[in-house]
Amino acid sequence: MSLEDIIRPDLEPLVPYAPGLRASQVRERSGRDVILKLSSNEHPCGPVPAAITAMEAVLHRMNRYPDGAASALRWKLSEKHGVPLEQVVVTNGSNELLRLVAQAVLRPGDEVIYPWPSFIVYPMVVNIFGATHVKVGLDGGDACHLDDMLAALTERTRLIFLCNPNNPTGAIYDRKAFARFMDAVPAHVLVVVDEAYFEFVTDERYPDGLAWLDGERPVVVARTFSKIYSLAGLRVGYGFMPEALAKAIDKLREPFNVNTVAQIAAYYSLDDEAEVRRRRAENQEQKVYLYSCFDRLGVSYVRSEANFVYLKTERPVEVFQGLLEEGVIVRDFGNAPALRVGIGTPEDTALTIAAFEAVAARLGAF
Ligand SMILES: Cc1ncc(COP(=O)(O)O)c(C=O)c1O
């Protein structure tokens, strides 16, 4: 028997997650010193000062295992959001949460409804657990199409992923639409609302997924410290869900799934509400500058509630390459007619706008 026979054959057609280009790769290729990596929806600033101080202080204790229950962090999240402690789960990035939720509920043949284009991890977890893909296109505003998702429900639907704001488009569905949706979803279906970017939202019609968590209803709200809190490198995400599901996940997760540095940094990050407000306001301001650049250049884009902007172009490969030559890394989607540009600091925005103008001067309209 060969190794090929030992490895699960259904893994053969799957592809690993493809991260965006790293700044060092582009620096080598372009010969430029200043490289802007705007391809992974990261925050341009480092962690908040209290988190850095706390992380530095804990480094000499790395001989000890982490608190396997992440008690302090879970307690703080519970207090902050008014959710009972038993309904708070902390994970190695929200990525792990999405996978654990799927692992807890999916049997082979179960159907999973998810929006598309959206976060690549949804189809990945469907593959991992041998479930059936039910991909639903976005609505006219490039948000999750809640009515079409309802129309796709069957007896075999087990799970629905919603992404709000949606990655990569940044568009949201509103409170009214969500209420209609939640009223119509049958009890045999778990709804996972992925709110990785909720802290950036400024539109008042945005629905808070937590409003639907009553401890009984099959709903999960997934969030992360990777985005506005700048802790992407530490991997710490969290979710709110009924206690029965939290208990099931506790049986599946690794015993020490969130490391000590991550727990401490996340704990202290939660105190800095003023910095979160500042980051949200700055993100909003920079997006508006970028929109005005796109308007000037005649580039079509989706108005975003997140820290990135989705632009539509019939020449994605040329624009992507052109921006790389200018030292700006954006996210491409193969041959799909779109690119996603992350929002950075005011200095980053100035460089991004200059790069788009240079590419437009070379390529003409795109
Ligand atoms: C919609 C969405 N959900 C979840 C994540 C995962 O975040 P993390 O695993 O870093 O918490 C991302 C990251 O880009 C995302 O875009």
pLDDT in tens, 179-230: 999 999 999 999 999 999 999 999 999 999 999 999 999 999 999 999 999 9
Domain count for the chain:
2
Between strands 36-37 and 328-329, the pairing is: parallel
Helices vs strands, H then E, count in the chain: 13, 13
Query: pLDDT value at position 31?
Result: 78
Nearest CA to ligand 1 atom 3: 196
pTM: 0.96
Nearest CA to ligand 1 atom 12: 196
Do 278 and 259 sit in the same domain of this protein? no
Provide the 10 A C-beta neighbour count for residue 57.
10
Query: pLDDT value at position 17?
Result: 84
Q: Is the CB of 286 under 6 A from ligand 1?
A: no
Q: Is the CB of 224 under 6 A from ligand 1?
A: yes
Q: Is the CB of 119 under 6 A from ligand 1?
A: yes
Query: pLDDT value at position 27?
Result: 80
Do 219 and 304 sit in the same domain of this protein? no
197 contacts 172 by C-beta, under 8 angstroms: no
Task: Categorize the per-residue pLDDT at 28 as very low, low, confident or very high, splitting at 50, 70 and 90.
Answer: confident
132 contacts 158 by C-beta, under 8 angstroms: no
Between strands 237-240 and 88-91, the pairing is: antiparallel
User: Whole-angstrom Cα distance, residue 110 to residue 85?
Assistant: 30
Do 224 and 137 sit in the same domain of this protein? yes
Task: Categorize the per-residue pLDDT at 19 as very low, low, confident or very high, splitting at 50, 70 and 90.
Answer: confident
Q: Is the CB of 332 under 6 A from ligand 1?
A: no
CA of 166, closest atom in ligand 1: 1
Query: pLDDT value at position 23?
Result: 82
Do 120 and 229 sit in the same domain of this protein? yes
Do 280 and 322 sit in the same domain of this protein? yes
Ligand 1 center to 31 CA (angstroms):
31
Do 226 and 102 sit in the same domain of this protein? yes
CATH number at residue 223: 3.40.640.10
CA of 96, closest atom in ligand 1: 9
Average pLDDT over residues 43-66: 97
Do 100 and 245 sit in the same domain of this protein? yes
Lowest mean pLDDT among 11-20, 93-102, 122-131: 11-20
Q: Is the CB of 261 under 6 A from ligand 1?
A: no
* Domain-terminating residue out of 269, 286, 303: 269
Residue 21 has pLDDT above 90, yes or no: no
Ligand 1 center to 343 CA (angstroms):
16
User: Token pair of 43, please?
Assistant: 């925050």
User: Token pair of 194, please?
Assistant: 């992925």
Do 74 and 161 sit in the same domain of this protein? yes
Q: Is the CB of 168 under 6 A from ligand 1?
A: no
Q: Is the CB of 38 under 6 A from ligand 1?
A: no
Pocket perturbation via mutation, ligand 1, pick of 121, 304, 307 by most ligand atoms within 8 A of CB: 121
Do 7 and 83 sit in the same domain of this protein? no
Do 258 and 146 sit in the same domain of this protein? yes
Do 264 and 293 sit in the same domain of this protein? no
> CB within 8 A of 11, min separation 6: which ones?
none
Domain range spanning residue 318? 3-46+274-363
Task: Categorize the per-residue pLDDT at 350 as very low, low, confident or very high, splitting at 50, 70 and 90.
Answer: very high
